[in-house]
Structure formats: C-alpha cells, structure tokens
Structure 1
Amino acid sequence: MLLNDEQQSVFLKNPGMKIGFGGIGKGYAADKAKALLIEKGVSAGIINASGDLNTWGKQPNGKDWTVAIVNPLNKEKVFSWMPVYNSAVVTSGNYEKYVKFNNVLYTHIIDPRTGYPATGILSATVFTKTAELADALATSIFVMGTSTGLDFINQLKGVECIIVDQDNHILTSKNITLNPLKND
C-alpha cells in the first residue's frame, strides 16, 4: 500500500488487495453518520453499521430503542432485549467470521500475545456513548478474557458489557441486569 500525503490518496499496488471496513471502522462510521443526521436536524434514529449500533432520541412511540442480544450458539435466536437511549451497542463474536479445521473453531479475532485466535469467549457486547469506543472495547474484552475483561469494564464510567463465555455462561458488568426471555 502506498500513501500519498500530498494528494491524500491510497494506492493498493498488488492485485486483489482490499481495504476492509472492519476493526473500529464500522463504529467510527456509525458515529459519523449519527453526527451528520443530528446536524441535519434528525431528532431520533438508530444507525446500524453491520451490527455496530448507535442511537439517539426515542422511537416515534416515545419508547427507548431496543436491541437484541444474540445467542452466539444460534445467531437466529435472541437471549435478551436491552433498551438503549442515546448510546451505542457493539458485539464482538466468533460466530460470524471463523474457520473450522480438524474440529477446532478458529475465530478472526487474534490475541496479539500469542498470534493465535482468541479463545474463551463466544461474544462480548459493550454499551457506551460511542460506537467507535464500544467497538474497540468489545474486541479488547474478547482478547482479555472474562475476568480481566469484566474487571476492566467495571472500572470505566458509562461503559457496561455482557459476555457469553465458551461454556455458554452469561456474565455481565456490575450495572446490567438481564431479564432472560421466557421460552413459550
């Protein structure tokens, strides 16, 4: 990749090279889209940048926005709904992007300490004011693991999380109470 500061351009010199919008790019884009819509006078909304959500205001019926927390073992199922008001929600998980090789699941989230895919967590959902921060924190928690991740989040003001560990246990930061869905 060649960067040209003078022309503010990027050139990808090898065939097949791509610039991805992963990492914290989606959260950043959701935050920028929200800011633009607010600047244009939109009084309420929800931005969904491939699962990185950012909300402001309330729904037309006056209620808070509600987001689904997906079951990482079956992404077609929801294990809880959470109200969201003027904040962002982002989940990092191993159930969308992975490869299974010799019956071992390898996620796309790499632990920089080992160079191998992170293990121990199936999903980490973060609630905070901006999608960019939520995105960065969700991925960080995924790499940190459950106890270090929860301890870290519990020290941050205005940040909460829900973790589903590899044994399908649901753990939450100190200010979240889940009301699990009842199976009918």
Structure 2
Amino acid sequence: MITDEDYDVLYYVTPKQYRATALDQQQYDPKAMENLNKEEVLEELLLKCTLSELISTLIIIFKEKYANPLPVWTGIVDYEIKTKKESSKRKDIKKIQFDFKYGVETVFGANTEYLDNVFIEFPEPLQTLKSIIKTGLKGKSFTEETSHDKTILTIANSPITKIELTPATFRLFIDKNSFIDYGQ
C-alpha cells in the first residue's frame, strides 16, 4: 500500500543553491541521495500496486498541490528517446501518455515543461473506475457530467481541473497555474 510518506518526495523543493544553473556548480544537495532512494521505492510501489491504487495515487498526489511528476513517470513508463514513444511498464495498462507542455517558468525565469495531462487506457473496462476516482477526490467539490459512455468530473479548487473517463480510459488534466518548480 502506498502511503503519504511514500509520496512526500514528490513535494521536495531542491534549494536554489543546489540547482544546476551553471556548469561550474560545486555544491550538491545533501538530500539528493536520500531523495533518489525514496523515488526508487515509490517507483517500485507504483509498479507493483493494484491498478485501482495507481489511479487513486495519481489523484491524491495532485489533488491539493502540483506534485513532481517525474518519479511517477519514470516509475511506470518506458520511454524511447529516438521515437519519443511511451509505453507502460505495467501489464495492466494498454496505453499510457504523460503529456508535458512548455509554458511555465522556473524560479530562474527559464521556460520549462509542466505535466498537462495523463492518459491511461486499460486492456479491458474497469468497472470500479468511477468509484475509485470519487474516493480519491474525497474532500474536494466536483461536478459530474455523463454523455454516452464518457464521464467528465470537473474539480473545484484543485490542481486537477478535470478527469475524463470511459469504462476503459482515464485522463487527468492539470492546471498549468498550479505548477511548482521543484528544481529537477
């Protein structure tokens, strides 16, 4: 089971003096190795947890505050640099896409990427998907619209702007304005 303590590393802000802003940087974050170990533990948990726990975790980590998505992405996605193709490391996910877009600034003023949305397609319909999502959103106000087999949950006061789902797909959208520069 993934706990709050397991994903605390997703909110660690690397102090400015330890960020790679110059080629001659001589100082290194003393927490870097500890955080790398925590990220590896989280990646392993994300690979081994149930599909419902993975979906819940994605919602929980972004529900209140923009989380650093990179450890999650590297944990569950194989990325082919030459083709820029993403594939799931998990057998219970047919297709996965983390959509990173430019348009936010780092604390040093450089243009960088943020996670705009995550799309997951399951090999077969997940009957409990809507229930998993609503449980993950506990404590948040949201509206729900259903048309045909697609449901859209619009979340208030959250980095998650909306979640679109069908019986076999899940897409979580993030508010660009919630971006936090964690310094990675």
TM-score (normalised: structure 2)? 0.31
Q: Which has the larger radius of gyration?
A: 1
Of Structure 1 and Structure 2, the greater strand share is in 1
Of Structure 1 and Structure 2, the greater helix share is in 2
TM-score (normalised: structure 1)? 0.31
Structure showing greater relative contact order (alpha-carbon pairs closer than 8 Å, 6 or more residues apart): 2
